[in-house]
Amino acid sequence: MADTPATIYLKDYTPPNCLVDQVTLDISIHAGFARVAARLAMRRNPVSAGGPLKLDGEDLQLESLSLDGQPLTASAWRLEGETLVIDEVPDAFVLETVVRIDPDQNTQLSGLYRSKDGYFTQCEAQGFRRITYYPDRPDVMAKFVCTLHADKASFPVLLANGNPVAQGDEDNGRHWATWEDPFAKPAYLFACVAAKLDMVEDYYVTTSGRRVRCAVYVEPGKLDQCDHAMAAIKKSMKWDEDVFGLEMDLDHYMIVAVGDFNMGAMENKGLNIFNTKYVLARPDTATDTDYQNIDRVVAHEYFHNWTGNRVTCRDWFQLSLKEGLTVFRDQQFGMDMHSAGVTRIQEVRGLRAAQFPEDAGPMAHPIRPASYAEINNFYTATVYEKGAEVIRMIHTLIGKQAFRRGMDLYFQRHDGQAVTCEDFISAMQDASGKDLAQFQRWYNQAGTPKLVVRSQFDAAARRYTLEVTQQFPATPYEERMTKDGLPQARGPYHLPIVIGLLDGEGRELPLRLEGETSPVGTQRVLELREAQQRFVFEDVATEPVPSLLRGFSAPVLLDYPYSTAQLTHLMAYDTDAVNRWEAGQRLATGILLEGVAAIQAGKTTNDWIPQDYITALARLLGSAFVEGGDPALVAEALNPPSENVLAEQMEVVDPDAIHGARMTLLRTLARELREAFLAAYLELASDEPYSPEGEQAGRRALRNACLSYLAQLDEAGAQALVVGHFEQAGNMTDTFAALASLASLDIPARHVALDSFYSKWRDEALVVDKWLQVQALSRLPGTTADVRALMTHPAFDIRNPNKVYALVRAFCAANPKHFHGADGEGYRLAADVILQLDPMNPQVASRIARCFDRWRKFDPARQALARQQLERIRAASSLSADVAEVVGKALE
C-alpha cells in the first residue's frame, strides 16, 4: 500500500531564510535532454530565524554546484530527499548550479515538457523545481533573465517572460535568445517556450500611452483560429482600465497555445501559456460556449497580471487570494460582455454542480484550507468558484464604489509583495469602514451553510417578518483538523441576503424596515450576522411573495417553504433574472423528486407532472418571442436541474430513478409542447452570417434547446429533424447540438453522424474531443463498454489531458446513470484509468479520482462496488501524493 502523503499546515509557515534578487537562467534544449545553468544572486532574509539554505528540486540531475565562483566540496552540501541543502552560506552570495533534465520524458506536464510542436513550461504551483534547484515558494520574488538555446529549424520560436534583449545563431544549426523580465516575480510565474509556432500580433495602446504588442502563438496552420482570442485580449485590457484603473505594465503580452496542458491556462508574467481549448476557435470548429469560455479564460489570465502577479500569494494556502479574486473579476467581465442574467445563472449552475458537492464530500475545505497533502489537489471549485462568491459578497456588502477603493488601497499597500487573504480583507475593511472580522469565517470554515427562512404576515399590523436561521454543521475537514490537534471553532457567517417583495399583481413593494421612517427602494441588502435574525417590513398591505437571495447573493442552500403558486408567480414576475430562473428550477426539482419517489414505488405513469407546470413552461417559451424577450434566458429556464444536482437533494441517491424521472419529464414536455417547440424551432432559424455574440448565440441556444426536446419524441419525423439539423448546420454550435442528441438515439443515423463527424474532423484535436465527449455522455445502454472501447481508438491518447477529460472525466462526472451503473463497470473503468494514468500524470489521475467523492451517498450495493475500486487504487504499490490524498480522504 502507498504511504500516506505528509500533511503541510498553514500554521507552520515561516518566512524564507534566503531571498533571491536575480536569477540568470541558461536553458539549452537537446534531443533527449536539456541542460539548465542557473545563477542565483542570493542573500539572507533579515526577518528569518536563519538556518541552512534549502533549495527545492525534483527529477534533476546535478552536474555542478558552486558558491561565489568556488565549486562546493562534497562535505559542504547534501541532498535531503530531493532538497539541496547547504549548511553554511554568507550573508550575500552567488550560487551557480548546472542540472540535466529530461523534458521529453516529462509526462506530468509540470516543469519543462515536450508537446507536439516543441517545449513548454508549467510552473504553478511547484513546477519550477523540476527545471532547476530553487527556493520554489511564492514569497521568494526575483528578477529573471533567461537565455534559451535550441535547434533553429525545429524550434524557431524562443520565448520567455518580459522583453527580448538579444538573439543569435550558433553552431550546428542552433540558435539562442535572451529575455529579461523587469518585474520581480515568484518562480511559479516563470515560463519559456521553444517551439515551431505561427504567430499573429496586434497592438493595444493603454490610457497612459504604452504601446503593448499582443501576440498569439499557435501550432502551424491554425492562424485562422486566433481572431477571437486576440479580440478577447484587447477587450480585457480595456475593461481592466475602465473598471479597475489597471493598465498593462509590459511591452509584450504573449499567449502561447499548447495541446498538452493539465489545466485551462497559466498567467506567467507576459507569457501566458494556454490550453488550445481556450484559444482556438473558428465558427465551424468551436461552439458558442467555446467562444464564451475563450473570452473568460483570456480575461482571467490577463486579470491575473495585477491580481496574482503584481500582488501575489505569500504561500499556497492563500491561493484563493488570487484565484477567487480573479474569477470574480472575470465573472464581472463576463456579465459586462454578455447577458448579465444568463452569465450569472450559468455560474450558479456551475457552483451547484461542482462546488456544493465538493463542500458536502470528503474533500470539503474552506477557500483557504489550513492543511493539504498535495497543493495541486486544491485548485478546486471551492478555492476558485466559492472564492469568487466570497469576493462577490464583499462587493455586495460594501458596494461597488467602496470595493473599487478597496482594490486601489490593496494595490497601494501591496504592489510587488506576496501577501495573505487577511491583507486583502483589511484593505476592503479600511476602504469601506465595514467591520469584516466576522466575515473572515468564510476563509476558515468548510461546508455550504443553509439558511432556513420562515415568514410571518400580520395583516392587522401590516407587518411582514422574515426569520432567518443559519445552519453550518461541521464537515469531515473540521473532524480531520480536530484529530490533528487543530480544532477549528465554528460560528455564524456574515452574509448579504438581497431581497425584494412582490405583491399579488407581481409588482415590487417599496421596502421600509422596522425603525426606518420611509421606504428605501424595492430591493434591499439584508445583512445576516447572527445564527438567528429577524427582518421586519412595515406597511405591507397584503401577504407578499418574497424574492430571496436575488442574484444568488450568497453561496448557501436556501430553505423556504415556497408553494407552487408562489414559484409560478416568481417565474412570471420577479425582476431578478436569477430568481425567475431559480423559481423554475425549484418547481422542477420538487416535481422531479416526486417522480423519483413514484418510480421507486414501481409506478410507470407520469401523473406526477402537474399540468400547471407544463402550462408555465409553455408561457415561458412564448415569452422569448414578445418584445424584450430574452431567448438565452428562456433556454436556461427550459433546462431542468441536472441529474447530479438532483442527486444532492436525496438522502440515498438512486441514479436510475433520477435518470428515469428526468427523462420522463423531458419526454412529457416534448409531447405536450411539441407544436410550440417546433414553431419556436422554425421561427428561430436564421441565415445571418455566424457570430458568437450575445443575441445570435441566445437565439441559437433556445433553438437548440427546442431541438433537444423534440429529439426526445420517439417519432421518425422528429428524428429526421435532428438529422437535418446536423446535416445542414452552418456552424459547430448547431452541429454539436444535433450530434449530442443523436448520440443518445438508438437509430442508424446515430452511427452515420458520428462516423461522418469523425472522418471530417479527425485532424482537428479539439473537435475530436467533442466527438469523444458526446459518446461519453450518451444515455444509451452499453455506454460504459463504448467508453472502454473508445479508450483503444486511435482518437484517444491517455497522455493528453484534454482527451482524458473529454472521454473519461465527462463519463465519470457527467453521466451518472452509467458511471454509477449497478454492475460497477463504471467504477472499474475509472479505477483502471486512474491506476494507468497515475504514474504518468498524477494531476490528471487525481482529477478523475475526485469522481468518487460522493460514493457514500449511494445504496449499500453501490457503496461496496465503489469501495472495492477505491481500495484497489489505494493498494497500488506507488501512488502519487495527488491520488493518495483524494482516495485516502474518500475512504477516511
Residues of the shown chain interacting with Zn ion in the complex, contacts defined by CB under 5 A: 323, 326
Nearer to ligand ARG, 133 or 188 (CB): 188
Name which of Zn ion, ligand ARG, none residue 265 binds, using a CB cut-off of 5 to 8 Å depending on partner kind.
Answer: ligand ARG
- 301 catalytic? Reply is yes
Q: Which stretch binds ligand ARG (CB under 6 A): 169-177, 257-265, 517-525, 857-865?
A: 257-265
Q: Which stretch binds ligand ARG (CB under 6 A): 135-143, 263-271, 522-530, 688-696?
A: 263-271
* HSE-up (13 A, CA, CB side) for residue 261: 23
Nearest CA to 283 among 740, 764, 691, 687? 691
Which listed option, ligand ARG, Zn ion, none, makes contact with residue 385 (CB within 5 to 8 Å by class)?
none
Taking the complex as a whole, the smallest distance from the CB of residue 278 to Zn ion amounts, in Å, to 12
Q: Which stretch binds ligand ARG (CB under 6 A): 13-21, 117-125, 423-431, 563-571?
A: 117-125
Nearer CB in complex with ligand ARG: 150/266: 266
Number of separate helices (H) and strands (E) present in the chain: 31, 32
367 binds ligand ARG (CB under 6 A): no
Pair type for strands 141-151 and 18-30: parallel
Place of cell 428526468: 662
Name the minimum Å distance from CB 323 to Zn ion: 5
- Cell numbers for 17: 531564510
CB nearer to Zn ion: give 42 or 319.
Answer: 319
Which residues are bridge partners to 471 per DSSP? Answer: 450
Q: Which residue has the cell 445563472?
A: 345
Q: How many other C-beta atoms lie within 10 A of the C-beta of residue 604?
A: 8
Which is nearer to Zn ion, 326 or 815 (by Cβ)?
A: 326
Quote the distance between the C-alpha of residue 449 and its chain's center.
Answer: 21
For residue 125, the partner it binds in Zn ion, ligand ARG, none, with Cβ less than 5 to 8 A by kind, is ligand ARG
The nearest distance, CB 830 to ligand ARG, in angstroms, is: 21
Instruction: Confirm or reject binding of residue 885 to ligand ARG (CB under 6 A).
Output: no
Is 712 near ligand ARG (CB under 6 A)? no
Q: Which stretch binds ligand ARG (CB under 6 A): 224-232, 260-268, 608-616, 855-863?
A: 260-268
Residue closer to ligand ARG by CB (options 376, 775) is: 376
| Cell numbers given for 601 | 414505488
Rounded to whole angstroms, the maximal C-alpha distance in the chain is 94
In Å, how far are 461, 674, 709, 712 from 678, measured between CA atoms? 51, 6, 10, 13
Q: Could you tell which of Zn ion, ligand ARG, none binds residue 547, using a CB distance below 5 to 8 A set by kind?
A: none
Answer yes or no whether residue 376 interacts with ligand ARG by CB under 6 A.
yes
Instruction: Choose from ligand ARG, Zn ion, none: what does 331 bind? Cβ within 5-8 Å by kind.
Output: none
Task: Find the shortest distance in angstroms from Cβ 343 to Zn ion.
Answer: 18
Q: Does 323 bind ligand ARG (CB under 6 A)?
A: yes
Quick one: what does residue 376 bind among Zn ion, ligand ARG, none, with the CB cut-off 5 to 8 Å set by partner type? Answer: ligand ARG
Nearer to Zn ion, 387 or 546 (CB): 387
Q: How far is the CB of 420 from Zn ion (least distance, A)?
A: 17
Q: What does the DSSP 8-state code read for residue 102? A: -
User: What pairs with residue 24 in β-bridges?
Assistant: 39, 145
Q: Restricting to residues 826-855, which ones interact with ligand ARG according to CB under 6 A? A: 843
- The closest alpha carbon to 852, from 841, 839, 863, belongs to 863
| Interface with ligand ARG: number of residues (CB under 6 A) | 14
- Which residue from 36, 125, 364, 571 is in contact with ligand ARG, where contact means CB under 6 A? 125
Angstrom distance (rounded) from CA 421 to CA 8: 18
What is the Cα–Cα distance from 695 to 360, expressed in whole angstroms?
37
What's the one-letter identity of residue 671?
A: R
Question: What is the closest distance, in whole angstroms, from the C-beta atom of residue 284 to ligand ARG in the complex?
Answer: 28
Interaction pattern, residues 267-286, with ligand ARG; x per rule: CB under 6 A = x-------------------
Q: Which of 97, 115, 147, 262 binds ligand ARG (CB under 6 A)?
A: 262
Q: Give me the least distance between CB of 259 and Zn ion, in Å please.
A: 20
What is the nearest approach in angstroms of ligand ARG to the Cβ of residue 124?
4
Among 20, 266, 599, 767, binds ligand ARG (CB under 6 A): 266
373 residue type, one letter: A
Q: Which is nearer to Zn ion, 388 or 711 (CB)?
A: 388
Considering only residues 377-396, where is the footprint of ligand ARG by CB under 6 A?
A: 379
124 belongs to the binding site for ligand ARG (CB under 6 A): yes
Least Å distance, CB 373 to Zn ion, is 22
3-state secondary structure 722-784: HHHHHHHCCCHHHHHHHHHHHCCCCCHHHHHHHHHHHHHHCCCHHHHHHHHHHHHCCCCCCHH
b/e code 789-813 from CB counts within 10 Å (16+ = b) = ebbeeebbebebbbbbbbbbbbbbb
Q: Which is nearer to ligand ARG, 661 or 837 (CB)?
A: 837
Q: Whose Cβ is closer to ligand ARG: residue 280's or residue 528's?
A: 280
Binding region for ligand ARG (CB under 6 A) out of 130-138, 265-273, 437-445, 502-510: 265-273
SS (H, E, C) 161-215: CCEEEEEEEECCCEEEEEEEEEEEEEHHHCCEEEECCEEEEEEEECCCCCEEEEE
Q: Could you tell me if 359 and 448 are in contact, meaning their C-beta atoms sit under 8 angstroms apart?
A: yes
In the list 99, 263, 397, 879, the residue contacting ligand ARG (rule: CB under 6 A) is: 263
Please give the Cα distance from 827 to 804 (Å, whole number). Answer: 16
Question: Considering CB distances under 5 to 8 angstroms, the limit depending on partner class, which of Zn ion, ligand ARG, none binds residue 734?
Answer: none
Decide: is 58 part of the binding site for ligand ARG (CB under 6 A): no
- Look-up: residue for cell 446535416? 727
Task: Write down the catalytic residue from 58, 267, 301, 389.
Answer: 301
Residue 58 and residue 52: Cα distance in Å, rounded?
Answer: 19
What's the CA gap between 87 and 73, in Å, rounded? 12
Closer to ligand ARG by Cβ: residue 436 or 844:
844
Strand, coil or helix: what is 366?
Answer: coil
For Zn ion, the closer of residues 323 and 648 by Cβ is 323
Contacts of 654 (CB under 8 A, 6+ apart): 596, 600, 859
The crossing angle, in degrees rounded to 10, of helices 319-337 and 227-244 is 100
CA–CA distance from 671 to each of 31, 622, 678, 706, 737 (Å)? 62, 17, 11, 12, 20
Run of H or E including 797: none
- d(CA 587, CA 584) in angstroms, rounded, equals 5
Q: Which does 360 bind (CB under 5 to 8 A by kind): Zn ion, ligand ARG, none?
A: none
CA distances from 668 to 590, 604, 778 (A): 16, 13, 20
Contact segment (CB under 6 A) with ligand ARG among 175-183, 264-272, 468-476, 648-656 equals 264-272
Among ligand ARG, Zn ion, none, what binds residue 97 when CB lies within 5 to 8 Å by partner kind? Answer: none
Query: Any contact of residue 657 with ligand ARG (CB under 6 A)?
Result: no
Residue 262 vs 744, nearer CB to ligand ARG: 262
- Catalytically annotated residues: 301
For ligand ARG, the binding residues (CB under 6 A) are 122, 124-125, 262-263, 265-267, 300-301, 323, 376, 379, 843
